[in-house]
Amino acid sequence: QVQLVESGGGLVQAGGSLRLSCTASGRILSINDMGWHRQAPGKQRELVASATSGGRINYAESVKGRFTISRDDAKNTVYLQMNSLKPEDTAVYYCNANLRVLGSIRNYYWGQGTQVTVSS
């Protein structure tokens, strides 16, 4: 059984910073893509940032220059450093990953989400 567990969310003032982390556990053979999505109240879930196993990194236009994604495959962990936070960044942030898992043909997994709230 594979799980993705996020941590690091919380309440911050505008201009502040948070660092999210997500750790995958289970019978993981290899990690392909890892990334972060977010879903604000009343809005669709959107891609925030992704990092492929080949080193390609993508960011949503709204977070470029403020957020940084990184990964530590030895720890099965992906991070999202969020700086200069804005109230519009308020959302539930979800970790996602494409994984090769022993004994499973499923390859796409989601975490439970962590709440980020930015006050003005």
pLDDT in tens, the chain (120 residues): 899 999 999 999 999 999 999 999 999 999 999 999 999 999 999 999 999 988 899 999 999 999 999 999 899 999 999 999 999 999 999 999 999 999 998 899 999 999 999 999
**pLDDT for 55:** 87
Give the closest residue to 27 by CA, choosing from 97, 78, 102, 98: 102
Close Cβ partners of 72 (under 8 Å, ≥ 6 residues apart): 78, 79
pLDDT of 53 reads: 87
Contacts of 18 (CB under 8 A, 6+ apart): 8, 9, 10, 12, 82, 85, 116
Start-to-end CA distance of the chain, whole Å, equals 40
Residues 6+ apart with CB under 8 A from 81: 17, 19, 67, 68, 69, 70
Q: What is the pLDDT of residue 1?
A: 82
Per-position DSSP letters for 3-42, written without gaps between them: EEEEE--EEEETT--EEEEEEEESSEEEEEEEEEEEE-TT
Report the pLDDT value the prediction gives residue 54, as an integer from 0 to 100: 87
By the 8 A CB rule, do 2 and 103 touch?
A: no
